[in-house]
Structure 1
Amino acid sequence: MNTWNVRIGINPLSWMNDDLPALGGDTPLETALQEGAEIGYAGFELGNKFPKEPAALKAKLAQYGLACVSGWYSGQLAEDTVDHEIERCATHMEKLRFNGCRVVVYGEVAGSIQGRMDTPLAKRPQFADDAQWKAYAQRLNAFGEHLKAQYGITLAYHHHMGAYVESPQDVDRLMALTAPDCVSLLFDTGHAYFGGAGNPVELLQKHASRVAHVHCKDVRADVIRQARNNGWSFLDGVLNGTFTVPGDGALDYDTLLGTLHASGYEGWLVVEAEQDPAVAPSYAYAKKGYETLRRIVDRIDAATADAQLVAMEQGAR
C-alpha cells in the first residue's frame, strides 16, 4: 500500500533562538539533536550553532541518525542585484547540496524589521508600485533558476512577518508574478495566520501546487490580537507567545495536512515554533508537535490504505 511521502523534521528554535540568543542561548546543539532524535524527528533545519563546514555538518547529524532538512538563507533581492546574490549564496548552497537538501528557505531580509525589537510590525517595508513588484519577481526568477541549475536546489520563498511579503495578498501577488519552475512557496502556517489569513487553509488551497516546503507552527490567537492591537514588534510577539507547536493552538492541522496530501505535496513537515524554552520546555513541546503531526499523517496513511483496499476488492469482482 502507498503511504504519504512526507518526513517530519524540526527547527532548533524549540531549543535555541538565533534572533533572541537569551532564549535557550546556553543550550548545547547536542542537546537539541539528541532530544529531537529521541522524540522521533527524521531531521533538523539549520541554525547558527550547527557546523559551518559541509562535511562536519554531515558528520554531526549522522551521529544522531538525522538528515539535514534545509537551511534559512537571508536574501536581499528586494534591494540588490542577482549577481551579488549569486556570489553571496555560494558557500551556503554548497553546504546544503553536500548534505542532500532539495530546497532552501529563502527569507527576504532587505528592509525587514523582523529582528528589531523596537519596531512595530506596521512599519514593515512595502513595494511602492507594480514596477517594483515586477522587478523583484524577475530577480527572484533569475536567482531561483540559478539555484536549480547550479545546485539542484529549489528556492522555497518564506512569507514572513515584518518583511516585504507578509499578508495573504502579498503571497498571492508573489505567486502570480513569479515562474513556478523558478520560485516555489514555503508555506508557514503560523505566519499565514499572523499575516492576516483568518483561515490559513484557504490560502494554502490557492497555492498548494507551488508549495515545496512547509513550516508547521500553531498560534495563540489572543496573543496575536494583542500584538496587532498594541503595535508590538515581531520579537515582542515571540516573547509573549504568539507561536507554539502544532496541537497547542488555534489552527486546524487535520484540514491543513489533508489539503497538502490532496494536493500531492511530498517533502518535509517542519515543526518550527519560536518560544521561550523557560516557559515552554523544549522537549515537552517538541514532543507534542511531533505527536500531533505523526497522528495526522498516520491517519491519512490508514485512510489511503483503506481506500486502496476497497478499490482492489471492487476491481476483483
Structure 2
Amino acid sequence: MTVPLDRLRIGSAPDSWGVWFPDDSLQVPWSRFLDEVSQSGYDWIELGPYGYLPTDPERLNAETASRGLRVSAGTVFTALHRGPAVWEDTWAHVSQVAELTRATGAGHLVVIPSFWRDDKTAELIEPSELTPEQWRALTTGTERLARRVRDEFGLETVVHPHADTHIDSEEHVARFLDATDPAVVNLCLDTGHYAYCGGDSVKLIETYGERIGYLHLKQVDPEVLARVRANGTAFGPAVQQGVMCEPPLGVPEMEPVLAAAQQLGVDLFAIVEQDMYPCPPDQPLPIAQRTRRFLRGCGA
C-alpha cells in the first residue's frame, strides 16, 4: 500500500521545459510552458529566470490563475563569496526578483551560488575550492542576504547546492550548513545535483532534516555521469549529453527520498526540475506527464 505523501506539495519549473534564460530562441514561449505545466497536472511552478515569465505582477497572477497554477518560489544566482564588493549589485537583482516573488504570494527565494567554471567551455573562472576568507564571505553574506530578504519581503531563503559551484558535495554542503544560522538560512535540496556531486539525499535529510526547507526533484543517469566525471565535462555540456533523466530511470531512487522528506513532518515544496537545455519544443510535455504519474504512484 502506498503511503500518502501529504506533506509534499508537488510542482514543476521552467527548467523542466528547457528554460535557462529570460529570452532565448531555443526555448518554448512562456505561455506554452504555463499551458503545458498545467496540462501535466501540476499545481505549483517556480518563476525561473527573471524576465522569462511576465514581470508585471497583475499580468503574471492573472496568467497563472487562469491555468490553476500558483507560484512557490523565485530564483537568483549570487556570488557572495566575493565579498562586500558585489553586495550592491547582488541586492539590486535579488530585490527585483524578491519583489515579484512576494507579489505572486510565494514564500521562498531559491539562491544558487555562482559557477566556478564556464558552463559551456569548462574554462576555469576561479578556483573550485574557496579560501577560508571566501568561505566566511559566503556564509556571512548569505546570512545578511537572507535576513534582509526576510525583513523586507517576508520570504524564506533556501540555498541550492549545484554542480560546478562551491556548494556542491557532501563536505561542502555540511560545511556551509554548519557555518550558517538555521534561523535565516536553510537548504533547497536538489536530489539530482546532489547525486551528480556524489551526495546521498536520504542521508542529508536524516542528518540535517531541520535545515531542509525546499526540494527539487530530479535524477541523474549514472552511465552518463560516469563519462562526465571521467572527461571533466562542465555542467552545461553534461546536460546536453543527457546526464539528467526522468524518474525512475536514474539515481537517486526517488521513493526513499520522498519518504524521508515526508517523515520530517513539515510541509515542503517538492518541485520537479529536469535540466535539459536546449531541447526540442515537443520533448518536455510527455516527460512532465510521465513524471507526474510516477510521483502520484509514489503517493505524492
Using the size of structure 2 for normalisation, the TM-score is: 0.89
Alignment match of 1:102 (pick from 100, 107, 111): 107
Q: Which amino acid aligns with 2:73?
A: S
Classify the secondary structure of the residue corresponding to 2:183. Answer: coil
Q: Which runs of 5+ in 2 are unaligned?
A: none
RMSD over aligned Cα atoms: 2.4
Q: Which amino acid aligns with 2:116?
A: S
Q: How much has 1:7 moved relative to structure 2?
A: 1.4
Classify the secondary structure of the residue corresponding to 2:80. Answer: coil
Classify the secondary structure of the residue corresponding to 1:263. Answer: coil
Q: How much has 1:279 moved relative to structure 2?
A: 9.8
Q: Which amino acid aligns with 1:247?
A: P
Distance 1:231 1:19 in 2: 24
Q: Please say if 1:272 is aligned against 2:260.
A: no
1:121–1:232: 8 Å Cα contact kept in structure 2?
no
Distance 1:280 1:208 in 2: 38
User: Cα 1:3–1:234, aligned 2, differ >3 Å: closer, same or farther?
Assistant: closer
Q: Which has the higher contact order (CA 8 A, sep 6+)?
A: 2
User: Cα 1:122–1:138, aligned 2, differ >3 Å: closer, same or farther?
Assistant: closer
Q: Please say if 1:188 is aligned against 2:219.
A: no
Distance 2:83 2:204 in 1: 29
Distance 1:178 1:230 in 2: 34
Q: How much has 1:21 moved relative to structure 2?
A: 7.5
Q: In the alignment, what sits opposite 2:153?
A: 151
Alignment match of 1:293 (pick from 273, 292, 295): 295
Classify the secondary structure of the residue corresponding to 2:146. Answer: helix
Moved more, 243-252 or 33-42: 243-252
Alignment match of 2:94 (pick from 85, 89, 92): 89
Distance 2:101 2:123 in 1: 33
In terms of Rg, which structure is larger? 1
User: Cα 1:278–1:56, aligned 2, differ >3 Å: closer, same or farther?
Assistant: same
Q: Please say if 1:163 is aligned against 2:165.
A: yes
Q: Please say if 1:29 is aligned against 2:30.
A: yes
User: Cα 1:36–1:105, aligned 2, differ >3 Å: closer, same or farther?
Assistant: same
Classify the secondary structure of the residue corresponding to 1:205. Answer: helix
Q: Please say if 1:62 is aligned against 2:65.
A: yes
Q: How much has 1:159 moved relative to structure 2?
A: 0.5
User: Cα 1:241–1:120, aligned 2, differ >3 Å: closer, same or farther?
Assistant: farther
2:218–2:273: 8 Å Cα contact kept in structure 1?
yes
Classify the secondary structure of the residue corresponding to 2:143. Answer: helix
Answer 1 or 2: which has greater helix percent: 1
Q: How much has 1:204 moved relative to structure 2?
A: 2.5
Alignment match of 1:79 (pick from 74, 77, 82): 82
Residue by residue, what CA displacement relative to the aligned partner does 1:51-85 show, whole Å, maximum 9, x if unpaired? 11222221221121100121211222111438523
Q: How much has 1:280 moved relative to structure 2?
A: 8.4
Distance 1:106 1:173 in 2: 17
User: Cα 1:149–1:135, aligned 2, differ >3 Å: closer, same or farther?
Assistant: same
Using the size of structure 1 for normalisation, the TM-score is: 0.85
Distance 1:20 1:147 in 2: 22
Alignment match of 1:112 (pick from 111, 116, 129): 116
User: Cα 1:21–1:205, aligned 2, differ >3 Å: closer, same or farther?
Assistant: farther
Identity of aligned residues (%): 24
Q: How much has 1:278 moved relative to structure 2?
A: 3.2
Q: Which amino acid aligns with 1:259?
A: A
